Each structure stands twice: as C-alpha cells, then as structure tokens.
C-alpha cells in the first residue's frame, strides 16, 4: 500500500487528503518510483480547483514533478535499472498519472536521470520550471544577445528559471513584481532589472532600460487586463508569450498595438515541447547541460513534510514564495 494524495471534490487546498491505496506494478512502458520529494506547481492547484486545461476525473490524483528511486520496471522499458535516481518531467495528463505520493507510476519517457550532485528536493524542482522557460524562450523565440525580455511573476520558480535562461543567452532580463518587497531578492537571483509595477510606470521603465526600443519578448503567466499595458512596452514586431492565467479574468486583445506595432500574442504551454520527441530531447539536453555548468540552479522557497500537503498548497497560492515550493516525502 502507498500513501497517495487525492481529492474527491474540487476546491481549495483543504480538499486534499492522504489516502492509502494499492499502486500496483508498472505496465508496459512505465516505471514505479519510490518518491523522495515533490515539486509543487500552480498547474496542480488549478487542476485541484477544477480550472485547469482538463477537468479532473474524481477521485483524482495530482502532481507533475517528483524525484525518486526506480523500484520496478515495466515491459519494454530500456535505459533504466532498479535503484536509478530519476526525476519526472511533466509530459502526461494528471488524469492518467499523478506523482503526489510515496510511490508513483510514471511513463518511462517522463523520467530522466538527473545530476548526482542535486539533492532530492532540488531534483524535484527542475523540469517544470526549466522546460517551460526553455520551450518559450529558446525553442520558440530563439532568445539571444541583446534581446530584452520582460519576465512577469518573476519570483515564481518559472520566473526565476526564465531569468537564468535569459542571462545565459546574453539577453537582458527585466523582472516584474507588484511591489518593491522582492526587489533585492530578484536582483540577488540574477535579474538585471526589476520593475515594481504598483510603484513604477512599467512602460516608461522598459523604454528607459531599452533605449526606447521596448522588449522583444514578454514572458507572462498572469494574462488579464495587464496584457494591454505589456503591449505598450513591446518593441516593433515583438511577442507576448502567454503561458498561464493567474489573473483569472478575461484577457483583452491589444488590437491597436498589434496593428500599429506588428505585435504578436502567442499562447504557449510546455506540452508543445515535451510531446514532441525531438524538441523534448533538445530541451532535456539544454537543462542538463545548464545544471552541469552551473548556469541553471533551482531556487527552493520552502520545504514541507508530506503530511503538510494542505499547508504546502496554501503557501503555493499565497504569492509569498521566491522559488519552488517542495514537499519532502522521506
């Protein structure tokens, strides 16, 4: 029997409960892991709330990211051995797989052998953030030297990953946060510029930083009415990448900026990368190389014990964290 986090109705963090269920043996193409740590993501909070890309099939498991030890191997799986230390790449439906538990079955294609120098908590913190940012900024936008990139919700794990990736590309990272409370922390984590949007004029600051050109790329998980302001800070033929909906409100299309400035607004999720074998392989290589070189380094905000999964989700939704929220299962 395994301890597994499930929810029997949608709602807030309090709907999460730890159930004891039989995990079973891995099927063809699958691995069973002894899980040591979990990485929490906003996608899981939205799935739990019934506001994700797909509705949950109740009672539902959840969880995209884990790090653990291979303890059983399904038919047809090659390249793994019992005892391998692996982490899980989000590349599946949570209605089919969910890693919140002390044991979990995952597709072998979603498992990666991570660098041995990473702790379990760090290993559970790499794939959602780095593959999301890599896919948008490197795979899609080909960010390069001199590009200015506005990174909203910059204190999130994906935001910090984006800062690291933009810096590694020789581009200009412009982090945004609502107030100046997180300014020093963001600068300490590598942001070249920080704009507190409730205290400063975003458009004026971006134009100042870029010599009036504007940013070529906006990397935004918030959406909502703020997109209209962001559109005014984009360079000619620039692009706004929308990869989330944290505003939970309608998002207007900035028509006149699009027409007058050649603006593109593009929806994106990491699944367009991880569900394509060639793009997935390139992304894995990029992340692993970055971790080995030290250009990429996961930032952990707080670690919760497994029994405090409800508190962990409350903290995840508090917007207080800087970096990844992690749950230790050991």
Residue extent(s) of CATH 3.40.50.720 domains in the chain: 129-271
Residue 234 pLDDT grade (very low, low, confident, very high; cuts 50, 70, 90): very high
Topology (CATH level 3) of domain 2-126+298-328: Quinone Oxidoreductase; Chain A, domain 1 (3.90.180)
Q: How many helices (DSSP H) and strands (DSSP E) are in the chain?
A: 11, 16
For the chain, give percent helix, strand, coil, nearest 5: 30, 30, 40
Q: What is the CATH class of 129-271?
A: alpha beta
Q: What is the pLDDT of residue 330?
A: 85
pLDDT surpassing 90 at residue 248: no
Is 90 exceeded by the pLDDT of residue 215? Answer: yes
Per-residue pLDDT, 191:
98
Domain with CATH 3.90.180.10 in the chain: 2-126+298-328
pLDDT over threshold 90, residue 233:
yes
Residue 66, pLDDT > 90, answer: yes
User: Is the per-residue pLDDT at 246 higher than 90?
Assistant: no
Residue 177 CA to residue 179 CA, distance in Å, equals 6
For the stretch 131-168, what's the b/e string if a residue is b when 16 or more beta carbons lie within 10 angstroms of its beta carbon? Answer: bbbbbbbbbbbebeeebbbbbbbbbbbbbbbbbbbbbb
Residue 1 has pLDDT above 90, yes or no: no
- Which of 307, 313, 316 lies closest to 102 in space, CA to CA? 307
**What predicted TM-score, i.e. pTM, was given to this entire model?**
0.94
Averaged pLDDT score across all residues of the chain? 96
**DSSP designation for 139:** I
Of 237, 243, 248, 238, give the one whose Cα is nearest residue 267: 243
pLDDT at 154: 96
pLDDT one-digit tens code per residue, 68-125: 999 999 999 999 999 999 999 999 999 999 999 999 999 999 999 999 999 999 999 9
Distance CA 148, CA 137 (A): 11
- Per-residue confidence band for 319, with pLDDT thresholds at 50, 70 and 90: confident
The span from the CA of 156 to the CA of 158, in Å, is: 5
């Amino acid at each position: 029997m395994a301890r597994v986090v499930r929810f029997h109705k949608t709602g807030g963090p309090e709907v999460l409960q730890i159930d004891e269920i039989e995990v079973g043996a891995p099927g063809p193409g699958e691995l069973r892991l002894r899980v040591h740590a979990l990485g929490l993501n906003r996608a899981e909070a939205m799935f739990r709330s019934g506001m994700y890309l797909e509705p949950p099939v109740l009672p539902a498991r959840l969880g995209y990211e884990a790090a653990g030890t291979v303890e059983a191997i399904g038919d047809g799986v090659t390249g793994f051995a019992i005892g391998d230390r692996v982490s899980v790449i989000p590349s599946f439906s949570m209605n089919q797989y969910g890693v919140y538990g002390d044991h979990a079955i995952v597709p072998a294609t979603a498992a990666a052998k991570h660098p041995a120098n990473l702790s379990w908590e760090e290993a559970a913190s790499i794939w959602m953030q780095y593959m999301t940012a890599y896919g948008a900024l490197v795979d899609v936008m080909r960010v390069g030297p001199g590009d200015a990139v506005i990174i909203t919700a910059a204190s999130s794990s994906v935001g910090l990953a984006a800062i690291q990736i933009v810096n590694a590309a020789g581009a200009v990272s412009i982090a945004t946060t609502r107030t100046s409370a997180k300014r020093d922390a963001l600068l300490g984590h590598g942001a070249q510029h920080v704009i507190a949007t409730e205290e400063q004029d975003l458009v004026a600051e971006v134009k100042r930083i870029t010599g009036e050109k504007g940013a070529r790329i906006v990397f935004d998980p918030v959406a909502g009415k703020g997109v209209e302001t962001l559109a005014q800070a984009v360079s000619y033929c620039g692009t706004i990448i929308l990869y989330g909906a944290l505003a939970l409100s309608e998002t207007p299309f900035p028509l006149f900026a699009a027409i007058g400035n050649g603006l593109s607004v593009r929806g994106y999720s990491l699944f367009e990368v991880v569900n394509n074998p060639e793009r997935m392989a390139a992304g894995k290589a990029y992340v692993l190389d970055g971790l080995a070189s030290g250009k990429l380094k996961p930032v952990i905000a707080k670690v919760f014990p497994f029994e405090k999964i409800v508190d962990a989700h409350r903290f995840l939704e508090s917007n207080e964290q800087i970096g990844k929220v992690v749950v230790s299962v050991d």
